[in-house]
Amino acid sequence: MSRDSERNWKPATSLVHGGTLRSEHGETSEAIYLTQGYVYDSAEAAEARFKGETQGFIYSRYANPTVDMFEKRMCALEGAEDARATASGMAAVTAAILCGLRAGDHILAARALFGSCRWVVETLAPKYGIEATLIDGTDIANWEKAVRPNTKLFFFESPTNPTLEVIDIAAVSALARSVGARVVVDNVFATPLQQKPLELGAHTVVYSATKHIDGQGRCLGGIVLSDKKWIDENLHDYFRHTGPSLSPFNAWTLLKGLETLPLRVRQQTESAGRIADFLADHPKVARVIYPGRADHPQASLVARQMTGGSTLICIELKGGKQAAFAFENALGIVLISNNLGDAKSLITHPATTTHKNLTDQARAELGIGPGTVRLSVGLEDAGDLIDDLDQALKAA
């Protein structure tokens, strides 16, 4: 099959066949090349490989056929020229943020960030002379005001964790481009199916593949997708020499996850929409935030830049922490876990788990109250989930 025909495939086809490197054995399912190294026919062949005169693999810290398949399949889905897979989402985020910067540069980031992303921007980068400013990213005026002559990188996630705020990717990217800065979007919450940051003007997209891409709670993984020139100049040597490489076994698991990604995300989003509607009308619920409902604070932006809602719901319970804990403890199907994007529905109380390291003020700025819980909707029957939530709300 030629790569040319691959270019016209719809996502569901790319996710089953894209990037396949079938061996001489003709296996149907992708092979797991669980190997550290590669052998050469001769000393001359090794020399030529190292000189770059022949194509091929050298060492699995540099590249591996199973990992390569995962990268190519993700490129086809995202419409990206190139990608590098990583051992976790945080390895991808760290590389995407730090590799293009140097001491004296400035990062402008939306403050509603996954906790570890916020640590990289706010704590790690400044240790190496890279300053960062965190703003409320929902208003483009805040980005304009905070730009400095040395701002080289804009970074944000959308929708955000856990309050599902949405940031205008096209507007922020246009501003960044006008000041010569690059845009990195953490697209985990939207998934590659429901939002295309590169088409909206971003330069680089990062994923924690741990979430919907695996989708069945097994492997950590991540990926950085961008233009080939930027990856060649900024990521290539960093990956070879610092080793954030993805394990071939995990790459294989993620490849199999990609095959069913559209089915899972579509079903989980549909169930989440039903559940959000049920919760919004419930007397024990103060507020539901769900991209895809007409009462989302940025409903028109959601409609403009996303093709679906979300598999996540942010719920504000009446009765604060006590009600939130009683609710979580009374659930029978939904499990208490800080992960997301899984086939199993998971619930977490951000103020005491994922966002416990923030100050009370920082949490309040993000809209995380003592009664806030984040629900990641899984693949169970939506009616069963609604029954479970209903009986737990009665207990709360």
Ligand X SMILES: *Cc1c(COP(=O)(O)O)cnc(C)c1O
Q: Binding residues for ligand X, per CB under 6 A?
A: 88-90, 93, 114, 116-117, 157, 161, 186, 188-189, 208, 210-211, 220, 222
In the complex, least distance from residue 145 CB atom to ligand X, rounded to whole angstroms: 25
- Judged by beta carbon, residue 89 or residue 273, the one nearer ligand X is 89
Q: Residue 350: which region, alpha, beta or left (left: phi > 0; alpha: psi -120 to 50)? A: alpha
Helices (H), the chain: 3-7, 11-17, 43-51, 65-78, 89-98, 115-119, 125-127, 140-146, 169-178, 191-194, 228-230, 236-242, 248-280, 299-305, 320-330, 360-365, 382-395
Locate 96 and state its tokens: 């995407």
In the complex, least distance from residue 89 CB atom to ligand X, rounded to whole angstroms: 2
In the complex, least distance from residue 26 CB atom to ligand X, rounded to whole angstroms: 33
- Judged by beta carbon, residue 250 or residue 298, the one nearer ligand X is 250
Is the torsion defined by CA of 356, 359, 364, 367 positive or negative?
A: negative
Chain centre distance of CA 186: 5
- Judged by beta carbon, residue 173 or residue 208, the one nearer ligand X is 208
In the complex, least distance from residue 262 CB atom to ligand X, rounded to whole angstroms: 20
In the complex, least distance from residue 39 CB atom to ligand X, rounded to whole angstroms: 33
104 DSSP assignment: T
- Judged by beta carbon, residue 90 or residue 375, the one nearer ligand X is 90
CA-CA distance, 268 to 273, in Å (whole number)?
Answer: 9
In the complex, least distance from residue 103 CB atom to ligand X, rounded to whole angstroms: 25
- Judged by beta carbon, residue 68 or residue 214, the one nearer ligand X is 214
- Judged by beta carbon, residue 97 or residue 276, the one nearer ligand X is 97
